Structure 1
Amino acid sequence: MNTKEVANKYTEWMRNGQGQQVLEELYADNIVSKEMPNWPGQVVTEGIKAVAEKNEEWMANVEDFHSSEVSDPIVAGDHFSVRMAFDCTFKDRGRQQMEELATFKVENGKITEEQFFYSM
């Protein structure tokens, strides 16, 4: 798949709550995930197993999803970005509305890097 095809699959699956499918089918084994410096966990996570564990920990803390939104992707060369917004109730901090910009790098039909930009 080219970058646009990966971006469209990512967007479709995330809108349909298929995050696990994104992880299994679109992420490279050597994925690098970057959070903001004030993120309470590890800022840089490397490898599919570690990224999967990070996602599982985040999801385990979600008590309820009230709404979520994923924008259409913007593609430029081997990168794409989407705006994501979530309204969630977390077990450890209550209800929170979040908005972030997620940017991805695609190589050989797989996402090799992701970086998230948000305010905390």
Structure 2
Amino acid sequence: MTTEQIAKRLAEYCAKGEFEAAQKELYADDVVSVEPYETPAFPKEEKGLDNIIEKGRKFESMIEEAHGITVGEPVVTGNVFSFVMSMDLTMKERGRAKWEELCVYTVKDGKIVSEHFFM
């Protein structure tokens, strides 16, 4: 797949909240994930597909209810793409919150090799 095809496919998955399916299909085994900042729940950086899938499962276990996810149109340049993702979630023990982040991805050899989130 081209970077543009991967970008569109990932945006479709994210809009449906199907993050693990996207990771299994589109991510490289040695992918790196970088969060905007370290939290007690998550490290600033995570390496490896299995670890990133586990991080996603942990995040999903913290959600009481998902009210909506929107994903902007991907912007692609070379082997990098980005989109804005907004999530309206009720978190267990924390209440409802709306989050918006810029998601930036790098592709190599037809797979996502890094994801970097900015809030």
> TM-score of the superposition, structure 1-length normalised?
0.94
Give per-residue Cα distances to partners, 1:8-34, cap 9 Å, x unaligned.
110112112322210110010000000
Give unpaired runs (5+ residues) of structure 2: none
Residues 56-82 of structure 1: CA deviation (Å, up to 9, x unaligned): 100000000111100110001100001
Unaligned residue ranges in structure 1 (runs of 5+): none
Aligned residues between the structures: 118
Q: Which residue does 2:88 correspond to in 1?
A: 87
Superposed structure 1 runs of 4+ greater than 6 Å apart:
none
Distance 1:48 1:66, change over 3 A: same
Indicate the residue corresponding to 2:101 in structure 1.
100
Q: Any idea what the Cα deviations from partners look like across 1:79-110, whole Å, max 9, x if unmatched?
A: 00010001100003111110000000000110
AA aligned opposite 1:11: A
User: What is the TM-score of this pair, normalised by structure 2?
Assistant: 0.95
Structure 1 counterpart SS, 2:36? coil
What is the aligned-residue identity percentage? 36
Superposition RMSD in Å: 1.0
Q: CA deviation at 1:38?
A: 4.4
